[in-house]
Structure 1
Amino acid sequence: MHTDTVVLDVEGLRMRYGNTDVLHDVTFAARRGEVLCLLGPNGAGKTTTIEILEGFRLRSAGRVEVLGTDPARAGEDWRARVGIVLQSWRDHGKWRVRELLAHVGRYYAGYATAAIERPWDVDQLVAAVGLAEQADRKVRMLSGGQRRRLDVAIGLVGRPELVFLDEPTAGLDPIARRAFHELIEKLATEGDTTIVLTTHDLAEAEKLADRILVLDAGRIIADGTAAELAAQIAGADEVRWTCAGQHFRQTTAESTAFAFDLFQRYGAAIDNLEIRRASLEDTYLSLVHRAETAAALDAEEAA
């Protein structure tokens, strides 16, 4: 359950490369314990936004505060509070999993506080990410999915208050993906950890995110929960049913109440009832299509 404490505050963020603007007035915030997901097609500006928030890229304009600090001027004490899980990294194949995590963890030992013990106990961490059986195995002997779990463990070893996850479940099998989702939910609800997630897996975003931002062409084109976005963008639910041998279909914003009323009125005569709610995929595709159509019209007018 997230609190009202603002962990990430972005206002009017802009980024320009040469004469090309890649971020336009991006504004949003995230609170402690919130799972925030950034969605958008390739080239939308997700990676640039995340790199600015992580302090790896200097912005062109706008105000950014992460854990109360401007990342562009942050020191090592701030970095100890932030965890980063990259899409890929050049690892040390000769290290064993437990040894590598213990080594990385030592860098966080001087940043422990009365409220947060740093680093995370290695045995607890490898168990949390599902690598207990591989703890003494050399990194180069891990499978692709196991190496991805190790990426996550390295990002979490310092018990960060804020975690950036870039395509975290890429390469994970369904069992490992489910275990990772449970870990993220536990970090957010029990550890009050704020999670900023980028993914192309819309089902994953729908499952994990408290709030979703959709970026397209460097602009935020939607901000809300999956249910809110579906209601605003993709439209009403669709209810289908059969009664007395006839097929019926009705769109409604209150599908549950509508179905209940059907059974109240017609009882056992109702058959083959089906309720189709707009999914995040429906919403996302509709949003991107609208944005691309508007951009094309603007380009025609400018020409």
Structure 2
Amino acid sequence: MKIIETIPMKQWISNLTDWITDNFEFLFEPIKDNLGAFIEWLSETLQWINPWLFIALIAILAFFITGKRIGLAIFAFIGLWFIFNQDLWQDLMDTFSLVITSSIISVVVGVPFGIWMAKSRVVEAIITPVLDFMQTMPAFVYLIPAVAFFGIGMVPGVFASVIFAVPPTVRFTNLGIRQVSKELIEASEAFGTTGFQKLFKVQLPMAKKTIMAGINQTVMLALSMVVIASMIGAEGLGQKVIESLSRNNVGLGFVAGVSIVILAIIIDRFTQSLNTQKGE
């Protein structure tokens, strides 16, 4: 015998989701249309570039961004050539478009929230458990509201990726600003800087290395969502992995998985190199 009756939490959440979907459809539809159009334009633009030219540009950029070290350039050239050779170039561009879009939105949202947390203990106390919830919730769960709000396709994939990927940027921005030396803050205040000047000329530049580390984690988390996002219609390399599962095609799954790993390594090394350069 139950001492307390079962709390109808499932029904409450379902009702809340239905209410949000019905009452904010005017907001979701423009986001879906405009964001979907942007992702499609970005993917088509990247595909318009000759693959060999794209590969060469990435290899050259890798050479200079790593301080003229040849290792990443060679890996990028061979890795991207391998993906092109396996007829997965279009899927790579779709995945790259999803990651870029998700990462940009995550950074645009995450940095201001991180600054807000750094400026207020109350805001930090409120947002921290929210971030904990976002990071510990299984990623598959984010697909449910994404589909409810935006249907299927690339846009709900971006929505789920942003929720999953934004916490590191918020946390590291907050951490970086709070770690700025109090002596520097006091010195800037002594010279009569405004709050805006202090933020953009002292705190953010000094916290840049930490913030970049958070952005690196955000980009990698966005990339890790490509397979999960493909379950709700997001195109790209993740879709090939899902297809290989449904058809029990080990070869296709392996090649698509290796392609995702290649992309992940290139993006990770690029962002780490940028962080090192900015921190020097």
Sort the TM-score into its range (normalised by shorter chain): under 0.3
TM-score, normalised relative to structure 1: 0.26
Bigger strand share: 1
TM-score, normalised relative to structure 2: 0.28
Bigger helix share: 2
Of the two, which has the highest radius of gyration? 1
